[in-house]
Structure 1
Amino acid sequence: MAGDEAGAATAQTEVLADKLRVLGPDHPDTLLGRNNLAHWRGEAGDAAGAATAFAELLADQLRVLGPDHPDTLVTRYYLTYWRGQADGASGGVR
């Protein structure tokens, strides 16, 4: 199913700005918003940007939620996925 992935990323950017302002950077809903933005960035064709966003999110989730939290584990998965997509797009190997 085709959609407007770039539009979703733009909308998520706006939602995330509000969450940061109202809830703060360490609130679980804000962290989830960052996850959603990274996802839509990747779906819109920016695999490297998604990987970078997931790497940054992972660092904060490790600090706030800990290494065994389900959200942290999901982020680790998506980080590896988008790194693989970025490598595939560039033809490189990390």
Structure 2
Amino acid sequence: MSGRKSAAAMPPRRRMAQNYLVIWVDGNIDENNSDCRNTLAQLRAVVSDVNVCTSPKECVQFLNEIDDGKAFIISSGALGQSLVNDIHSLPKVDAIYIFCDNKARHESWAKEWPKIRGVFTSIKPICESLKKVA
């Protein structure tokens, strides 16, 4: 136990962000691929509800079907621009992460959208960011 005092109204920190779900949107997701499985395992270690979509349309449909809670979107750079345009205004979308190999290519347009938390080439900093909301 630490010596820090916390306000009585503050709930204890939880490891899993239960009120949140993650939607990973990438046209190249192959759950038989070891890299994809590893990425999903890292995400599920932080957020229990991780969903995979392979198109922006599928992601929008999924978002329209959920009733409550907040969604974190992890999008490939290739699908990101059109997807962000479609979902940025939705209140249930809390944050968007662009996950791609070419950071420089996507940073300029990503800066224009307040909900985008950044462009990442590794899943680890995305997981670290998700832990902070837990």
TM-score relative to the length of structure 1: 0.30
| Structure with greater helix percent | 1
- Give the structure with higher Rg (CA): 2
